[in-house]
Amino acid sequence: MTYKVQTLNNISSKGLDRLPRELYEIASELSRPDAIILRSANMHEMEIPASVRAIGRAGAGVNNIPVADMSKRGVPVFNAPGANANAVKELVLSGLLLSSRNLMGAWRYVEELTSSGEDLKKEVEAGKKRFKGIELPGRTLGIAGLGAIGVNVANAAQSLGMSVLGFDPGITVNNAWRLHAGVSEALSIDELLSRSDFVTLHVPLVEDTRGLIDAKRLKLMRKNAVLLNFSRAEIVDEDAVLAALDAGKLSYYICDFPSEKLRGHARVVTLPHLGASTDEAEDNSAVMVADQLRDYLEVGNIRNS
């Protein structure tokens, strides 16, 4: 017997190699697949064949998959929580440092200088003043979402000397301690926003988190705070972010998604969803879901769906 696994995105070969070819036929086009393995392809827009018995998401978020419909059909959706936590943490750290030292503006400033000699020296001096930064020790980082990524970020921020506040609807302060999350206090989202110099979002996109950071909540933030969104674009109201940037409330918005509204803004960094785009995270995620698919298809074991 051969299991047919359809891939909707490029999946790391390290992951696919967990599915032995004598047992698995793997291709991007297949009729009557037993399982689908994907990264961020949008399954809401596709007809999912009735033959599909399991779905493997080589990533953490499952908002690109109609999970409720699949549950009704008895199709488990496996994901890979934690497999990309280090990759996302490193990007969050880059965002903290980019913003605290005004690196994007400073870089652009130097790129655009055209003078030379004494005039250039004066412009460099002016840039030094204009792009003066702040240091991270003693600053407060608020983390919304204390899953694998949030906890990794908390530990890293703590080792940089930051105080770390956490919000997670599902985790109480005692649990956060038990998880060694490096979080000194677990708060409501409103309190977290009002007490943090930097806020980083790591909640999944579900009905309760869509638009979580809206105009009302942005008003609670400290003046010159930095907002980092490596979660999902829809968690933040972009019009409200623009207004907060222009009112001098937010100093930077750094997010992992392209945005037509925000493109070109001097204090916005938008990225092409790079959080999990490292060799290591792609391998880890693909291995984790391939192992789960295999367990399910061959033995009927369900873990982590």
State yes or no: residue 40 binds ligand MLT (CB under 6 A): yes
Q: Report the DSSP beta bridge partners of residue 5.
A: 26, 35
- Residue 260 catalytic? yes
CB 166 within 8 A of CB 141: no
Binding mask 48-67 for ligand MLT (x = CB under 6 A): -----------xxx------
Known catalytic residue: 232?
yes
Min CB(109)–ligand MLT separation in Å: 32
Give the residue with the Cβ less far from ligand MLT, 145 or 275.
275
Nearer to ligand MLT, 95 or 275 (CB): 275
Rounded to a whole number of angstroms, the minimum distance from the CB of residue 22 to ligand MLT is 29
**Is residue 273 part of the contact set for ligand MLT (CB under 6 A)?**
yes
E strand map for the chain: 3-7, 24-27, 35-38, 54-57, 77-78, 140-144, 163-167, 185-186, 198-201, 225-229, 250-255, 268-270
180 tagged catalytic: no
Task: Indicate which residue of 57, 139, 202, 232 is catalytic.
Answer: 232
Q: How far apart are CA 119 and CA 248, in angstroms?
A: 31
Q: CB of 84: closest distance to ligand MLT in angstroms?
A: 5
Query: For residue 291, what are the contacts with CB-CB under 8 A and spacing of at least 6?
Result: 18
The mark string for 75-114 relative to ligand MLT (x by CB under 6 A, - otherwise) is: ---------x------------------------------
> How far from 304 is each of 90, 162, 267, CA to CA, in Å?
25, 32, 39
The C-alpha atoms of residue 133 and residue 110 are separated, in whole angstroms, by 16
Residues contributing to the site for ligand MLT (CB under 6 A): 39-40, 59-61, 84, 273, 275-276
